[in-house]
Amino acid sequence: MGGNIHFGGVAAVLRVADVTRSMSWYEDVLGLKSYPFFDHEPYVFCVLEGERIRIMLRRQPGYERDPAFRSCDLYITVRDNTLRDVYEDLRGRATVVRELEHMPYGDCEFEIVDPDGYIVCISELLDDSSGIPDAREG
């Protein structure tokens, strides 16, 4: 059966303390469209959508992401050699926690952090990565 499944997509589900705050960040910073549930605040759930992206937010009062976890929580790719422009744009609207760098596996990427402490990696395999520093090992 496994080979006959026709998946339609995948979505990340993030636990957040305040759906409205997180929803606003993803709308304002990443330009995603929000579909909160239910018709009034405090919202308990929200679906965020963009081109080829779906993220879900689920309210969990008092939730705090473990700050000891230092890896990315969301890995989002862009296309059409736009990563440099996306990086410059987001630097002015989000907190960058890892600068744009060229990874050993070929992609170039940077990381920003959302209001709940989730690390969002933005990545692209560029046609020309000249001028982007190589990632530090370690």
Q: How many domains does the chain have?
A: 2
**The domain that contains 111 carries what CATH number?**
3.30.720.110
Question: 16 and 60 in one domain?
Answer: yes
Residue 58 CB burial class (10 angstroms; 0-12, 13-18, ≥19): middle
Q: What is the pLDDT of residues 101-124, one digit of tens each?
A: 999 999 999 999 999 999 999 999
Across-strand partners of 98?
Answer: 111
Question: 134 and 110 in one domain?
Answer: yes
Q: In whole angstroms, give the CA distance from residue 123 to residue 136.
A: 16
Question: 93 and 120 in one domain?
Answer: yes
Question: 79 and 37 in one domain?
Answer: no
DSSP 105: T
| Residue 2 confidence class, pLDDT cut points 50, 70, 90 | low
Predicted structure pTM score:
0.92
50: Cα separation from own chain's centroid:
11
**The domain that contains 43 carries what CATH number?**
3.10.180.10
Q: What is the pLDDT of residues 66-92, one digit of tens each?
A: 989 989 999 999 999 999 999 999 999
Q: How much of the chain exceeds pLDDT 90, in percent?
A: 86
Q: Residue type for 137, please?
A: E
Q: Residue type for 106, please?
A: G
Structural domain span for residue 73:
69-138
